[in-house]
Amino acid sequence: MDKRGKFIVFEGGEGSGKDTHIDRLKKKYAGREDIVFTREPGGTPQGEQIRSLLLTPRERKISVPRELVLFVAARAILLEEVILPALAAGKTVISNRFGLSTIAYQIYGRQCNEHLPMLQKLSAFAVGDAIPSDYILLDVTPEVGLARVRSRGDGLTSFDAENLAFHNRVREGYLKHISDYNGLVIDADRPLEEVWATVEAEVANIIG
């Protein structure tokens, strides 16, 4: 019998509420040793170093090839050290972002559609068959999401600071490719409590 755990991924643009809803899930399932929460890039010491490199604003932007490869490298480390061991132990993994983010941000956001075949091959090599069982896209219009980000007043990441056109392209990438993963799209423009009620019910249904 296959006892492999569930692999749930939350995706979405800036200000979509991923952090907020995952924090609520952590509180709801506190004490459940069979549920592992992680994020990418990050989730491991090396991954967090890569995260800092990628998200810290800087005068000179990281080149697209370098940015893309760094994201995939962080993902491979996270898989090897956190996700795969947890799934093999029959645990549920809930991740803040995974492969679809790289398509949305680095391919669509950066307007590098010619790199998509290469990214797909690189991802297949790095990820193998560790495909999320459930993708949940918190779909937010960039105007709404960026307004939320600015209202937090805790500073902007390198991606937060991109212009509106960039974020519109990111959203386009998400919506175009979420069906490739049989993902669920949730309208995240709605009030927080309405979105949370949907997220809570969907995750409860997946976990059982």
Q: Would you state the pLDDT for residue 1? A: 35
Q: Would you state the pLDDT for residue 129? A: 83
Q: Would you state the pLDDT for residue 120? A: 93
Per-residue pLDDT tens over the stretch 36-49: 999 999 999 999 99
Q: How far apart are the C-alpha atoms of 68 and 25, rounded to whole Å?
A: 29
Total-model pTM: 0.94
Name residues of the chain where pLDDT drops below 50: 1
Residue 41 preceded by cis peptide, ω within 30: yes
Q: How far apart are the C-alpha atoms of 179 and 174, rounded to whole Å?
A: 9
Q: How far apart are the C-alpha atoms of 138 and 104, rounded to whole Å?
A: 13
Measured in whole angstroms, the distance separating CA 93 from the mean position of its chain's CA atoms is 13
